[in-house]
Chain A
Amino acid sequence: MKKLSKLLTTAAIATGLFAGAASAEDMRIALVVKALGIGFFEAAAKGAEEAASELGGVEIIYTGPTDTTAEGQIEVINSLIAQNVDAIAVSANDTDALVPTLKKAMQRGITVISWDSGVAEDGRQMHLNPSSNPLIGNMIIKLAADELPEGGEVAVLSATTTSTNQNIWIEEMNKVMGNYPGVEVVATVYGDDLADKSYREATGLMQSYPDLDAIIAPTSVGIVAAAQAVVDAGKVGQVNVTGLGLPSEMAGAIESGASKSFAIWNPIDLGYSATMIAYHLSKGDAVAEPGASIPMGRMGEVTLDETNSGAMADPFVYDASNIADFKDIF
């Protein structure tokens, strides 16, 4: 009994602390991410806070499930609906599964936008892409091909088979393969965005394809694991790891030479822009409709296409020349 009451007291104190942190402000914008504890989303939250302090009178609720599941995100969104937040900006774990819950949120007057990983059209007012998918698809293969003037074998290490983003990028990449003669994609494997599984898959790739020249990992978890696998296999210089990654996590790989270059948009800008858009839509001084322009503060404006989605900016390439400047930022 004592243990339990102790536990309850701890819980009570904990809840008290959290309750104290939330004070009444003018507008509450929830930034819902795929899962907590991922560097990319922590950086986006920083951007959201930046936007909030620039706007004033805005409270950011940064939240998300522990695992990247749709069910977990629905629980989180249900509790946000219950709190009657003003806006929800979500990076979705599942394009379709969140739609019924987000529809309910919109029925109760909450502004709903998706960013990074989108929600189906009827589940949100607009979607903010960090970049355009064709540009990213082209960028990841270009980064690999630039190091292979004579052509060669490359393999893709993706996240899960159901990851919306990665699948679209790989599709776009396949569309432009004709522009890179001699470069051949020999395999696509899935590391499920888990470090250990991605590492094993990357090791497996090098064993199955001894002549492999590059691993393209369009995921921040996979690229780090792949770089580590290359270092451990003693194949630095033979296998170049590239794709999409975070400067802070990739600094070591750039230093060791396992990765010559990689790309990413700036997640700080992404969180910042999503917050700005949510703010303007919730306030009512911008509308989400095809062809409309919505202001994004220092990031300019986003123009919506016929599916009410828009692109923020082009992906940015990081290599040995600039990694030092960015590795401490995100």
Chain B
Amino acid sequence: MSLAETQQTTARHIPDRLTTPLARTLKSWESLLLLVAIGIFILNSFASPYFLNAWNLSDATFNFTEKAMIAFAMALLIISGEIDLSVASIIALASTAMGLVMQAGFGTPAIVATGLVTGLLCGAFNGVLVTRLGLPSIVVTIGTMSLFRGISYIVLGDGAFRGYPSDFAWFGQGYVFWVITVELTIFAILAVIYGIVLHKTNFGRAVYAIGNNATAATFSGIRVERVKFILFLLTGLMSGLASVCLTSRLGSTRPSIASGMELEVVTMVVLGGVSILGGSGSIPGVVIAAFVMGLVTFGLGLLNVPGIVMSIVVGALLIGVIALPRIYQNLRRK
């Protein structure tokens, strides 16, 4: 084997991230985000006397837990080169379905199962349209974004489902012990599961491979369409789970539930270092991004900063974090 050939084999190696040399940039990337998180935490505790309080921090986690549940699956989907913009609408449809089941007199287990199954079905619908018909996912999910929420509006109109059983409130309002909420626990468990799936399994490697070069992945024997279909299913399932938590937390369903959440989920994923073009990103990054967004909004909220300023800060943070690796690369080249 000649030297040139060896180099080529190395170049064909499918990296976790687009930036090379891998290890260093990689490390500095997540630790950078972690530094931002710690910085915000310290700033917040200086800025407001109410920040360092276990109960308040516990309340603050609600700002991101539901979004982060979806963000994990969304991260995998975006890494594979697809996207799902219908997630917030899936929440609305799943919540509406749960409301119908609740009104029919079923108990909490049936309500939760309905939410999850509705999510799965919505994910399957998106998945079929993308993988079987070969339509671009951004187009499909912009369509289903209107479709799913539209069904909720048809069912509910200007009405609302209320009167969920009291044990259903456990998901969105319950505590596992002390200040650790049920939602935060679900978030933590999912973080571990998704971390293992993406970084330690063949399936995870396949996701990266597809995002980097779908054709090459196909020729390496990866069943590209099937992997993508599973990712849409997962995203749907996570949206169903988020719907269970959000509905439980609000104690009611309206068709406008979770409106606009899809962009916050995508923001979280991109802030976590996942390339919007696919092929790179990590679960630890998304976890830290979830905390960063939660801490920023809660910290600014404590200071009664108007929401519009908050949006500006989150937007600036996002652009800053995306632009940073580019600037860094350009500087290195010089």
Binding site for B on A (CB under 8 A): 1, 3-4, 7-8, 11-12, 14-16, 18-19, 22, 35-37, 61, 63-67, 69-72, 74-76, 78-79, 81-84, 94-97, 99-100, 120, 160-163, 167
* In the complex, per-residue mask of B212-223: 1 if CB is within 8 Å of any chain A CB, else 0: 000000000000
Binding site for A on B (CB under 8 A): 32, 36, 39-40, 43-44, 47-48, 50-51, 53, 55-56, 59-60, 62-63, 153, 157-158, 160, 162, 169, 172-173, 246, 249-252, 254-261, 297-311, 313, 316-317, 320-321, 323-324, 327-328
Query: Contacts A8-B43, A162-B256 hold; do A75 and B63 have CB atoms under 8 A apart?
Result: yes
- Beyond A19-B47, A162-B255, list 11 extra A-B contacts (CB 8 Å): A4-B321, A11-B43, A14-B305, A14-B309, A15-B299, A61-B304, A65-B307, A69-B256, A74-B250, A96-B160, A100-B250
Contact status A76-B162, CB under 8 Å: no
Interface centre among A70, A81, A97 (most CB of B within 10 A): A97
What's the Cα separation between A74 and B158 when bound, in Å?
20
Q: Which of B36, B59, B254, B300 contacts A97 (CB 8 A)?
A: B254
Contact status B62-A22, CB under 8 Å: no
Closest to A2 in B: B327
Contact status B158-A161, CB under 8 Å: yes
Can you list 9 contacts pairing A with B, beta carbon distance less than 8 Å? Answer: A18-B303, A18-B305, A70-B257, A81-B59, A82-B51, A97-B251, A162-B254, A162-B255, A167-B158
Query: Which residues in B have their C-beta under 8 angstroms from that of A64?
Result: 306-307
Query: Which residues in B have their C-beta under 8 angstroms from that of A99?
Result: 251-252
Nearest 3 pairs of A and B residues by beta carbon: A79-B301, A96-B252, A66-B307
Q: Which of A4, A79, A82, A163 contacts B324 (CB 8 A)?
A: A4
What's the Cα separation between A64 and B246 when bound, in Å?
20
Contact status A15-B160, CB under 8 Å: no
Query: Contacts A1-B324, A70-B250, A100-B250 hold; do A36 and B306 have CB atoms under 8 A apart?
Result: yes
Closest to B321 in A: A4
Expressed in whole angstroms, the minimum distance between the Cβ of A271 and any Cβ of chain B is 16
Contact status A97-B250, CB under 8 Å: yes
Expressed in whole angstroms, the minimum distance between the Cβ of A94 and any Cβ of chain B is 6
Contact status B311-A15, CB under 8 Å: no
Contact status B169-A100, CB under 8 Å: yes
Contact status A15-B324, CB under 8 Å: no
A-B contact count (CB 8 A): 150
What's the Cα separation between A158 and B83 when bound, in Å?
34
Contact status A94-B252, CB under 8 Å: yes
Contact status B251-A100, CB under 8 Å: yes
Query: Which residues in A have their C-beta under 8 angstroms from that of B324?
Result: 1, 3-4
Contact status A161-B309, CB under 8 Å: no
Expressed in whole angstroms, the minimum distance between the Cβ of A298 and any Cβ of chain B is 27
Q: Which of B39, B250, B251, B301 contacts A76 (CB 8 A)?
A: B301
What's the Cα separation between A95 and B253 when bound, in Å?
11
Query: Which residues in A have their C-beta under 8 angstroms from that of B298?
Result: 75, 78-79, 82
What's the Cα separation between A201 and B5 when bound, in Å?
65
What's the Cα separation between A83 and B307 when bound, in Å?
17
Expressed in whole angstroms, the minimum distance between the Cβ of A86 and any Cβ of chain B is 14
Closest to B153 in A: A161
Closest to B327 in A: A3
Query: Which residues in B have their C-beta under 8 angstroms from that of A35?
Result: 307
Contact status B320-A4, CB under 8 Å: yes
Closest to B251 in A: A100
Q: Which of A3, A82, A83 contacts B323 (CB 8 A)?
A: A3
Expressed in whole angstroms, the minimum distance between the Cβ of B69 and any Cβ of chain A is 15
Contact status B43-A160, CB under 8 Å: no
Contact status B304-A18, CB under 8 Å: yes
What's the Cα separation between A81 and B59 when bound, in Å?
9
Q: Which of A7, A65, A94 contacts B317 (CB 8 A)?
A: A7
What's the Cα separation between A11 and B44 when bound, in Å?
10
Contact status B307-A76, CB under 8 Å: yes
What's the Cα separation between A84 and B55 when bound, in Å?
12
Contact status A82-B162, CB under 8 Å: no
What's the Cα separation between A66 and B56 when bound, in Å?
22
Contact status A63-B304, CB under 8 Å: yes
What's the Cα separation between A166 and B134 when bound, in Å?
44
Closest to B51 in A: A82
Closest to B258 in A: A71
